[in-house]
Structure 1
Amino acid sequence: MCAWISRAEALRHFATCDGPTRSQQHIKPLHWYVASRLVLEGGFLPDDIAPRPPFRVERGRRELLLHYDETQATGEERTVLGGLKTKNVDVVIARPTIGPALAVSCKGMTGALRNLTNRMEELIGECTNLHITYPALVFGFLFVVRANRRDESAAAEVASGARRMAANDVAFQADGGPVASLVRFHNALCEITGRRGIRDDVSRYEAVSLLAVEAGARAGAISPEFPTPDSPLRIERFFETLYRRYDERFVFGAPDLKARTARPGWSPDSPCLRDPRLSAWIAERPGIEIRLSSDLG
């Protein structure tokens, strides 16, 4: 079931998981983090999100109270109609009578960087497929790679210690620089992000982020040097861009639908906002803001 976990917990699980990647168990917690963040920071209703995060909304006289309620959580993905085929998408917000409005695809690679080229083909195809049917869909792609390093702590084994690290599993050289295949992948991702309008190229995502996640002693920490601070793939810009594109298309661009599409935000009196989990969740990213609204009108 979708759980309320922090980004650090989700990435630590990814960095240390030694199960088969085909099962998606290494990346599932990241889906849960994204879904929860879309509620707490994004102000989206949990009922509209799949997998459904563990929150419940109580409507007051003029505001919405957000409660933590793990009994409401589910674990299923939503199947979306594509122009070429149906697709199970990791995190989807579907608005009643409107359809899929925002989605995030989460992918991860723990090694075998030779497969990065194949991943490019897959992610371009996924984006094109869904934008053909839903050109207004705000689609984000979040990719995490295990930052296996060729140094004293990681030269002999991956984070789990279960097997020897192959040369192709190395993401960063001993001098700290990324390997050539990772740089090429970063540059290719830069070419398919930044879709702004519904008439723009359907093979572009509205937002793309690339995270290099440390293994070993610092398991789960985000590598600070890659991508570089000026990269369009920095995680700091990812969610902000998704919210902006959503508001432009579904709120400001369609004022007659605003009552149904606006992100309402939560009453400052919400029990969820007094939950101790929230303090830890916010502390990992200074500057994150819970979407509040004291008067829905």
Structure 2
Amino acid sequence: MPELKVPADVLLGNAARAFSQAISTESAEHIKPFHRYLAMRFVIEGGFHPTDIRPRPPLMANFRDGNWYLSFEPDVEDEREQIVLGALKSKRIDLVVSKEGIGPVLAVSVKGTIRAFRNLVNRTEEAIGDCANIHIMYPGLVYGFVHFLKATDPNDRELKPNDKSVDPNGDAVPAIKAYAKILEGLAGRRLVRNDYARYEGVGLALVKTKTGKRENPLLAVFPTPESPLTLNACFAALYQTYDLRFPYTYTDPILKHLIRAEWHADSPALAGLRKMEATGEPLGYSARTTAG
């Protein structure tokens, strides 16, 4: 099988570039690269099949000789989002994983903010309502919330105080730290009977405006590495909760498709990623693999 070019947005740094350079959020073009990044990550790291994900990532899974093989296929990409029915209103969610015969099993709402950071706390009402709306209709759905914030240049004197996210010491401003505390309280829904207004996983990331090609595009000092709000912690919580609710509980062989796939290490897509990493461009997470 030929080895196709690795899509640019498989790297967080490439996806972050459009966001960090945005001056307006009206077109949503600043956030779409993150949607593509997440869709590919949920396949490569999460083990979800590309055909189960909307927007559909440029990946193809093939089963042969008892193993799953993953390859990049740009022609199958579909950026259309899925509409999920809520208790009060329908919602077009940024990333949705659905399983045949079950319906939506995992979803992630993605937000992006480039200014007016002091108003973040006031926007939590929307996040809480959105979460409750979906969970009332689908109590078992694993729901995540990821918010990307622009990490402003502390030396930019043209910025208004309300539009600054980073202080002169390179740390997050108090308004963002207060917002993070609220987000921590909205995360951690574990069991189906738990509070519908809480998410299973919440992520917060400050995207730097200037980074080298091989640098981490996110502010490293906040959230701290041990925080449950880091992207890695958020996604780990989503995967673990999904496994608890779906594969762990299935008793009929017809539901075996609920188990997350493990990709063969010789998959063309993984070979391409290894070559990319060999040039000094780290993927930033580990693929879900098996030696076969």
Q: TM-score, normalised by structure 2?
A: 0.89
Q: Deviations over 1:71-112 (max 9, x none)?
A: 000111100011111000000001011011011111110011
8 A Cα contact 2:205 2:219, kept in partner:
yes
- Do the aligned partners of 1:42 and 1:263 also contact (CA within 8 Å) in 2? yes
Give the structure 1 partner of residue 169 of structure 2: 175
**Alignment deviations for residues 109-162 of structure 1 (CA, whole Å, 9 cap, x no partner):** 0011133133211111111111011111111111111111432xx223xxxxxx
In structure 2, relative to structure 1, the CA distance for the partners of 1:174 and 1:275 (3 Å cut) is same
2:185 pairs with 1:188: no
Cα deviation, 1:163-189, whole Å, max 9, x if unaligned, reads: xx2221011221334222212111111
State the one-letter code of the partner of 1:155.
R
Q: Is 1:6 aligned to 2:16, yes or no?
A: no
Which residue does the alignment assign to 1:264? 261
1:202 is aligned, of 172, 196, 199, to: 196
**Structure 1 pair 283/245, CA: closer, same or farther in 2 (3 Å)?**
farther
Alignment of 1:246-257 (within 5 A): 246-256=242-252
- Deviation of 1:45 after TM superposition, in Å, equals 0.5
Partners of 2:59 and 2:73 within 8 A in 1 = yes
Question: How far apart, CA to CA, are the structure 1 residues paired with 2:259 and 2:248?
Answer: 9
Residues 201 and 238 of structure 2 are in contact (CA less than 8 Å); yes or no, is this contact kept in structure 1?
yes
- The answer (yes or no) to whether the contact 1:40–1:290 under 8 Å persists in 2 is yes
Which one-letter code corresponds to 1:14 in the other structure? F
Corresponding residue to 1:117 among 115, 118, 121: 121
Q: What is the rounded CA distance, in whole Å, between the counterparts of 1:217 and 1:293 in structure 2? A: 34
The 8 Å contact of residues 10 and 283 in structure 2, kept in 1 or not, is answered as no
| d(CA) in 2 for partners of 1:44, 1:76 | 18
Indicate conservation of the 8 Å contact 1:49/1:91, yes or no: yes
1:258, CA displacement in angstroms? 4.6
For the 8 Å contact 2:58–2:73, the answer to whether it is kept is yes
Q: CA deviation at 1:31?
A: 0.6
Contact 2:203 2:229 in 1 (8 A): yes
Question: Does the 8 Å contact 2:227/2:233 carry over to 1?
Answer: no
1:242 is matched with which residue: 238, 241, 262? Answer: 238
Question: Which residue of 2 is the match for residue 159 of structure 1?
Answer: none
Matched, 1:77 2:81: yes
5+ long unaligned stretches in structure 1: 157-164
What is the DSSP-based 3-state SS (H/G/I as helix, E as strand, rest coil) of the residue aligned with 1:94?
Answer: strand
Counterpart-to-counterpart distance in 2, 1:293 and 1:177: 40
Partner residue of 1:279? Answer: 276
User: Are 1:52 and 2:56 matched, yes or no?
Assistant: yes
Q: Distance in 1 between matches of 2:286 and 2:148?
A: 24
The equivalent residue for 1:27 is 31
Aligned residues with identical type, % of pairs: 37
Helix, strand or coil for the counterpart of 1:97?
coil
Shift, 1:216, TM fit? 4.0
State the secondary structure of the residue aligned to 2:10: coil
Which region of structure 1 is more displaced relative to structure 2, 231-240 or 136-145? 231-240
* 1:224 aligned residue: 220
Q: CA 1:278 to 1:192, structure 2 compared with 1: closer, same or farther past 3 Å?
A: farther
From the superposition, tell whether residues 266 and 238 of structure 1 become closer, same or farther in structure 2 (CA, over 3 Å). same
Query: Among 208, 225, 244, which residue is 1:214 paired with?
Result: 208
Q: Distance in 2 between matches of 1:145 and 1:92?
A: 22
Structure 2 residues without counterparts, runs of 5 or longer:
1-6
